[in-house]
Structure 1
Amino acid sequence: MLNRKWTMYILHHSHTDIGYTDLQERIIYNHIDYIKTAVNTAKEGYKTGSADKDFKWNCESYYCVERFLEEATEEEKQDFYAMVKSNNIGLSANYLNFNDLVDKEILSKRTKEMVEHFKAQGIDVKVAMNADVNGVSLGTLDVFLDNGIEFLFTNIHTHHGMYPLYQNQKPYYWENKDGKRLLVFSGEHYNLGNALGLVYNKNLNFMTKNYFGENEKQKAHIETLKDNIVSYLTSCEESGYKYDFIPTCVSGVFSDNAPPNPDIIRTIKAFNEAYGDDIHLEMVTLQEFYDKIKDRVKDAPVYKGDLNDWWANGVASTPYAVKHYKEAQRMYHLCERLDDHGKISKKEFVREAEDNLLLYAEHTWGHSATINNPYDTMVQNLDIRKTSYASKAHEASAKNLNRIAHSRGDKLRYYDLNGKIKAINASDRKGEKVVEFYIEVWKYPGVKVICETSGQEMVTQLSSHPRGVLISFIDFFEAKEEKIYRFEEAAGKDEIINTRVAYIGAERVKDIVNDYDPKSYKLPYQIENAYFKIAYEIGKGVTSFYNKVDHIEMLKQGDARFFTPIYENTKIRTNVYEERRRLGRNVRGLHAKKYIGDLTEVKVIDDGEIFTTIELFYELEGTYFSSVVIKMYNTLPKLEFKYKIAKKLSTDIESIYLPLTLNNLDAVLYIDKSDAIMRPGMDQIPGTCMEYYLTDNGLIYESKENTILIQAKDAPLLYMGELKHHPILLCDNKEENNKRDVYSWIMNNTWETNFKMDLSGFAEFCYTLDLVKTTNAEQSFQTMKDNGYGVVTFMIDEK
């Protein structure tokens, strides 16, 4: 027997997956039709006085509403607004169910647009819901709060994930850094209502079996529903649930992207007639649910920190498209910096970029059969369409960037052997900046570059470019300053051997220790400037990464050795689906093997006045080719490095990592997620994931005097901890969690459903490392972002 009278609030919705069940366009069109069906169902119910007048439908994501409003007639729009006002249609300020790739600025613009649109219709949007996804970033919390959203209803699916706070069906207040609070109700799986039996199905689904077992004796629908509800509520009472209400979501059928089902309201009425004295079922919109509980949960606890996403690892199943997306995102914001009043950018290109950046960051990725049937045409179609969102965002921003550069003088040519360039500091910060431009030419022996403002001749370096020659130099820029430089072809510098000094032999090999050329003989073993020294040895790998400013050895031995790629493999012993399902929240099997790159060759690529570049070649299991290219600037506390890989095809469970651990710094580690800054393992809601994190830009090691910034431009996923199968510790906010090893998790295929298995391909994944004076974490990340945009250069006409 239950120990209280209960009210169960029923929220009918369709979990929005842009993919997974069908082609993306089909799904979007279906959701438009679902809204029309729900409106017409309730409208007809009012006309006839039937039970359908009490039918309620919740639009889980605003994206579907946005598409509906584009397609709807004026009459359909007015009917929709009327049904929102009558509480037959519920709205949610959740634009889509995202992962942490989502761009905070764009999401905030779109959320504000929604709130203002409905305000103009006399409707206040104060609530949001999501389903399935396993996280919401601190940046998204700010988006909600900045746009007047007061309540978030979450329905986490614990497949390879988990709800926060060690228990679901739990209200709490989520506080941001400014002290603003969002009421959150952390609910059950979004198909709980289907598992209970709110929608009759003679074939038991796996959730019903998980929750209530398999009863061979068939009962009438309403009686079975009562038994299941009583069983579930008894469990809630026994586990300390203290309220007399509980929510459950339900879909029209037990599936994602499911249609509205008017039978649910009839089932509710039949149930209440039979058992309503003890348990009352009430169909509600999201706003109604919030209104009914907000005064009853004022004693809910308050938490700060990130609701880290368990499903973030899925994005690394498409590493090449994610790299493309990240560049599209940077290009979008670079356009904003160069055209801050929006006078040059075409608005339709801006909107196209925003639409597609949002769509790519939506959580679904591929078809449900991506792993167990990768040959299927629909699987291929969904994968290509998903990638197209990143590409269309890239294309739209590239179009605007071309227009902006042209408006600022770009002559749209790169063939001049003598001419002028314009260099624009895209940063809000002054400082020494690297300036680079290329000339499409077969041969260019030397160059002379003069700053027109100062008359100073720049120290330059020529290096190889895929289309000719790259010219590099360093100059000081004020914030957003632009400079013009003249360049002209010059004679090359022939190296003449000084035969009077013992530093080189007749075979032109510089292998003698000497003071005449104290650098060249060391390059096969180390590179060095005033800030760093990196040593390496074939057969041993990187042996030192010394910080000359702080006088500490930063290289950690073992798995986390910087500049050293790692491959991890779990062989398939069952089948490609089952082996992955068994992982749970681990990302490798118990029998996983780890392979650390074996350094087999060192090549000096460039050694000049501006920088030195070396390439470290590794033999690494799972790859046809694997190398790390390191560019060290002679006069800057800056490194650029990239991992080049030719990945083999395999159906095994695989991961590629590049360690980013720095040792002995006595530093606090920070990352940025959706433009919010946090200390992983510490600044999180208790009970959340701390295995891995999806970042905006990268990570910083903040020490007392100096801070090291590591920007991961192309590979945003970070793994923390040991590279072995282990019991999963949920976040307990201890300081020691922040001291774990850090890896760039470049690619993986750990999922058994909608994330890709095929990791094969060619790519380079780029990183930068800067050493700066410590200020605060926000300033450091702003510096990192500014450095990422760099100096924009192009040839201009001579005048």
Structure 2
Amino acid sequence: VNKIKKIYICNHSHTDIGFTDYQDACFRQHAEFVEQALDLIEKTDDYPDQAKYRWTVETTGPFMQYLKNASSSQIERFLKWQKMGRIDVAGMQYNFTPLLNMEQMIRSLYPIQILRKEYGIEVNTAMQDDVNGVSWVFADLFAQIGIDFFTIAVNPIRGARVNPFPGAFEWVGPSNKSVLAWNGYHYLFGRNQVGFGNEKFTKKLLPKYINKLENDSDYKYDFMYCESTHPIRVDNGPPDERMSNFVKNWNEDNEIKMEFINVSQFGKLLRENYSDNINKQKGDWTDHWTDGPGSSSYETGLNRRTHELLLAAEAIDSINLLNNNSKWNSKRVSSIYENMTLYDEHTWGAYSSIEAPESLFTKALWNKKSWYAYNSSMETHDVLARAANNFATKVSDTLYDTTSYLAEKQISQGNFNLGDHDPKEAFPDTKSDELLVINTLPWERDVIVEEPEARWGAAPVGILDIFFNRASGWGGLRPISPIRKVACKLPAYGYKFVKINEKSSEKDLIANNN
């Protein structure tokens, strides 16, 4: 039996992008929380050390927005207290679902380097709250970027926790790199389950959990560690002014003492004093709780496809770069990734979405959530089209020289008809039987190519021809051009000019039984 001697409290705000408020408001609120936490830190600086207020910024996404708008004096103020260990920043960008691809996971850690190099803010820990797990790859990524401690506070409703719980283990990644992990209580535990902030409630509720830990033969620690948010707003909630006085008064009258701690300090405490109790565990920590994506399956599928299209665009533009023909806009692409990730983060809709699905609040939050997916998709289509068109100008001839008289004569009514022309005259045949097909994957592929409807190279770059609906006209009826398909083999990470008029057998044109 290990007697519990101390209770460590990590005070923070749980980051939901949405749920409690409109998404844009949530970003604004988290910036305000930083200032409010600093006010409280300064206000309690003459308190006993254990009761001095400490605050942990749970995620870097909203915090980066705060820094972009902060004055130099605000940043200096933050750095002062961060160096003194009174305010901390954890390294995960948001609380994530398993929807992120590898590129997103890597990019989600970019803010850590910005915080270190541009602001001098030390970041060596990471947190995830509410979700049941994160991708196994993060165990490797954390080690590579210098994150040596990771805590998770699982929401067990319709979910489950891994073992040990609560407890620490060295989480070993796929490449055998590792990170120290703490699998802890629900992030609402401090406020909602043991009533921190209200001594009457705490004395009533806390003993049950203390007794359980002290009688758990697998629990090898002499402390209780718990996260605590705000009782009125448990998600996206502000610092709680009552907590420092609560800890101060509690310690005057109770044998088991309480102490504020930030997540970095807790990681250091574990390594220095409890390393003998920490074993290694290897494997995926899959989040099996996330059910939001299934409630919006179209947008989820759309966003997953966008992941792949943006990677394809980057692969094509890598060749453009070698040919001094790149027009890649890194800032724009970063914005696309940010919006893709904001769709993939764990918050799905408003807290009122079940009881009040038709309310303004519910509809507004879903409009913004789905916007992240639709905006990312449309922006990615444009980026892909521009990269592909730039590539095509270097390796192929245009369908027509649009500056010539012949082109004017050929496409004078092309793809537009208000009813004054015969459809076949308005939408003439291109008389072209060759297509440029690009393989952006690093292996040879057997593919079925469907000829897109031509825009003659005269339309503005926006979406590739292949993504347009054949049956849609632009004023007036139009004939649907014959659909021609051909099977071919593409070289690894390369391209090929495919003869679309060469017939393939029906067997070769079947994929996935279609």
Shift of 1:280: 1.5
The one-letter code of the counterpart of 2:211 is T
2:74 paired residue number: 76
Matches within 5 A, 1:15-30: 15-30=14-29
2:266 paired residue number: 289
CA distance in 2, matches of 1:487, 1:289: 64
**Aligned match for 2:237, one of 255, 258, 261:** 258
Contact between 1:352 and 1:396, CA under 8 Å: does it hold in 2?
Answer: no
CA distance in 2, matches of 1:412, 1:271: 80
2:203 paired residue number: 226
Matches within 5 A, 1:627-646: 634-635=507-508, 639-640=511-512
**Aligned match for 2:99, one of 95, 98, 101:** 101
Q: Cα 1:36–1:103, aligned 2, differ >3 Å: closer, same or farther?
A: farther
Shift of 1:27: 1.3
CA distance in 2, matches of 1:412, 1:168: 65
Which is helix-richer, 1 or 2? 2
**Aligned match for 1:350, one of 321, 333, 341:** 333
CA offset digits 1:575-620 (Å, max 9, x no partner): xxxxxxxxxxxxxxxxxxxxxxxxxxxxxxxxx8443xxxxxxxxx
Shift of 1:337: 1.0
CA distance in 1, matches of 2:441, 2:4: 61
Shift of 1:44: 4.5
CA offset digits 1:367-392 (Å, max 9, x no partner): 11111221211111111111000111
**Aligned match for 1:438, one of 439, 444, 452:** 452
Shift of 1:426: 1.7
CA distance in 2, matches of 1:299, 1:66: 36
Contact between 2:93 and 2:111, CA under 8 Å: does it hold in 1?
Answer: no
The one-letter code of the counterpart of 1:315 is P
CA distance in 2, matches of 1:436, 1:352: 32
**Aligned match for 1:484, one of 497, 506, 512:** 497
CA offset digits 1:448-482 (Å, max 9, x no partner): xxxxxxxxxxxxxxxx9545333221233322222
Query: Structure 1 residue 192 and structure 2 residue 209: aligned?
Result: no
Matched pairs, number:
452
Which is strand-richer, 1 or 2? 1
Q: Cα 1:177–1:348, aligned 2, differ >3 Å: closer, same or farther?
A: closer
2:282 paired residue number: 304
1:461 paired residue number: none
CA offset digits 1:1-41 (Å, max 9, x no partner): x9625111100011111111111111111111001111232
CA distance in 1, matches of 2:487, 2:283: 40
**Aligned match for 1:469, one of 464, 468, 482:** 482
Structure 2 regions of 5+ residues with no counterpart? 401-414, 416-427, 456-468, 472-479
CA offset digits 1:739-796 (Å, max 9, x no partner): xxxxxxxxxxxxxxxxxxxxxxxxxxxxxxxxxxxxxxxxxxxxxxxxxxxxxxxxxx
CA distance in 2, matches of 1:350, 1:375: 34
CA distance in 2, matches of 1:468, 1:14: 57
SS at 1:309's partner residue? coil
Contact between 1:472 and 1:610, CA under 8 Å: does it hold in 2?
Answer: no
Contact between 1:191 and 1:249, CA under 8 Å: does it hold in 2?
Answer: yes
**Aligned match for 1:239, one of 200, 206, 216:** 216
The one-letter code of the counterpart of 1:234 is N
SS at 1:379's partner residue? helix
Shift of 1:60: 0.8
Shift of 1:232: 1.6
CA distance in 2, matches of 1:406, 1:105: 24
2:248 paired residue number: 269
Matches within 5 A, 1:318-329: 318-329=296-307
Q: Cα 1:335–1:110, aligned 2, differ >3 Å: closer, same or farther?
A: same
Matches within 5 A, 1:203-222: 221=199
Q: Cα 1:5–1:177, aligned 2, differ >3 Å: closer, same or farther?
A: closer
CA offset digits 1:320-369 (Å, max 9, x no partner): 11121112111111111111276322223201211111101111111111
Contact between 2:451 and 2:500, CA under 8 Å: does it hold in 1?
Answer: no
Q: Cα 1:51–1:641, aligned 2, differ >3 Å: closer, same or farther?
A: farther
Shift of 1:51: 6.7
SS at 2:139's partner residue? helix
CA distance in 2, matches of 1:380, 1:294: 47
2:366 paired residue number: 383
Shift of 1:485: 4.8
Contact between 2:446 and 2:489, CA under 8 Å: does it hold in 1?
Answer: yes
Query: Structure 1 residue 142 and structure 2 residue 140: aligned?
Result: yes
The one-letter code of the counterpart of 1:89 is I
Contact between 2:137 and 2:174, CA under 8 Å: does it hold in 1?
Answer: no
Structure 1 regions of 5+ residues with no counterpart? 201-220, 442-463, 491-607, 612-633, 643-799
Contact between 2:44 and 2:244, CA under 8 Å: does it hold in 1?
Answer: no
Taking CA–CA contacts closer than 8 Å with sequence separation of 6 or more, which of the two structures ends up with the larger relative contact order?
2
The CA RMSD over aligned residues, in Å, is 2.6
TM-score (norm 1): 0.53
2:60 paired residue number: 62
Q: Cα 1:313–1:40, aligned 2, differ >3 Å: closer, same or farther?
A: same
SS at 2:161's partner residue? coil
